[in-house]
Amino acid sequence: MTTQLFARHALLPTGWAPNVLVQWDKAGLIHQVQTHVAQPPGQSSATELLVPGMPNLHSHAFQRASAGLTEYRYAEQDSFWSWRNLMYSFAAHITPEQLEAIATWLYAEMLEAGYTSVCEFHYVHHQPDGQPYADSATLSQCLLNAAKRTGIGMTLLPVLYQTGGFGALPPGDGQKRFIHTTDAMLKLLDKLLPQCQAQNAKLGIAPHSLRAVPPESLNAIIEGMNQLDATAPIHIHIAEQTKEVDDCVAWCGQRPVEWLMDHMAVDARWCLVHATHMNASEYQQAASSGAIAGLCPTTEANLGDGIFDLPQWLQHQGRWGIGSDSHVTVNAAAELLALEYSQRLQRRQRNVAASTATPSVAQNTYLQAVQGGTQASARPIAGIAVGQNADLVELDCQHRALAQLTPDQALSGHVFGSSRTSAIRRVWTQGILRVDQKHLLHQPAQKEFIQARTQLLRHIHD
């Protein structure tokens, strides 16, 4: 069975094309993309502006429940580290039912916001007292259930977390739900692999950070993952905070990215999440490795992390993608806007993420983020092209920021001019309609989320 969609204008990997017919099979894989089609074929759905779905390469789903609730001064000088203590209080109390409700709403929000897949960096594994659930995959399954229910594509990244800091410091009380031995994590991965395959999800591994995973465990978990699936993506938080860099230097005499490049076989399977604080040599080495820089501009701004040097990364042909991380913002266009604006503030220039060859900031960043997010996700989601999933986003050409504009102007309006309103009309994943103005589960998912958050806050404050 073939399904098709006709677009007056579609953003292909090579740029905008007119009168595009996209056809996909019953599995949701695109098998034909025709351009300059004279007229819409009979029985085909039609749209004006079609762009590829955006991969979200970094998510902590449970943190959506605390978004907006940590914007109060709790210390003489608030920082990432004081915020982390507040975040741990949410992690300490969340139940499986609450996690599934929060994730279901978040994934529906993501789809409404133009994300069609997510890399879930999942580190809350155990019961509140730190003891494993009878089924070690309980909380992982909640996330898989949420993805299946909403239709978002999933790359599940169970997190290995073992220590409280560089030099194998013991974990703190707030981290007890995260902790796994390497063997226990490998058993969990072995259990999750067939579950992920059954719903067309990709399983990877996420060593949390160099401060949370000692070198011997880092080597062992990657070797074990390779035996399960040698194509599995590897994601790691790195160099997010200057304190992390200073602590790493004190531990081993090297900066985090420098150490990683010298001691691990970093390649295109790796996603270096944040990588905010690198020197010139680290930018060159990391970009040359083929790894993806996982950028989360609105979270990095919210936490006061710092600013990634995008021009220096691109100078070395580095690839990158975007994620919503702690979900203070769930909007793919807003992440691209925040990324570009951070570069402008840092350099006191305009249109930084463009070039003479590719002058449109919106088109350039959108296509680069799709490609980088695809690599980090390790799924066939690289845009409107043969062999890729039919993950498609229809822009609303009647929206005030897009109306009567050319396709490229409309994309710029979507990224830079929609002013926190939605310029998205419909969204498909694997060829199935998930959003028509709103997600088809919008009302029940929203209600369940509010109930879960209310229960969670009550427990935290008791």
Q: Which residues 6+ apart lie within 8 Å of 81 measured at CB? A: 241, 243
Q: E strands along 198-345, which residues?
A: 202-203, 206-207, 234-238, 270-274, 292-295, 319-322
Residue 288 half-sphere exposure toward CB, CA atoms < 13 A: 9
Alpha-carbon distance of 235 to 158, in angstroms, equals 10
* Other Cβ atoms closer than 10 A to 280: 11
- 274 is an active site residue: yes
Among residues 325, 327, 391, 414, which one is catalytic? 325
CB 269 within 8 A of CB 231: yes
Q: Between helices 96-112 and 138-150, what is the axis angle to 10°?
A: 30
- 408 is an active site residue: no
Sign of CA dihedral 257, 263, 265, 270: negative
Alpha-carbon distance of 343 to 331, in angstroms, equals 19
Alpha-carbon distance of 134 to 78, in angstroms, equals 38
Q: E strands along 260-302, which residues?
A: 270-274, 292-295
Q: 3-class DSSP state for residue 229?
A: coil
Alpha helices by DSSP H, listed for 361-441, are 361-377, 407-412
Nearest 5°: CA angle at 239, between 284 and 128? 145
Among residues 237, 274, 277, 399, which one is catalytic? 274
Q: Which residues 6+ apart lie within 8 Å of 253 measured at CB? A: none
**Catalytic residue numbers, as ranges:** 274, 325
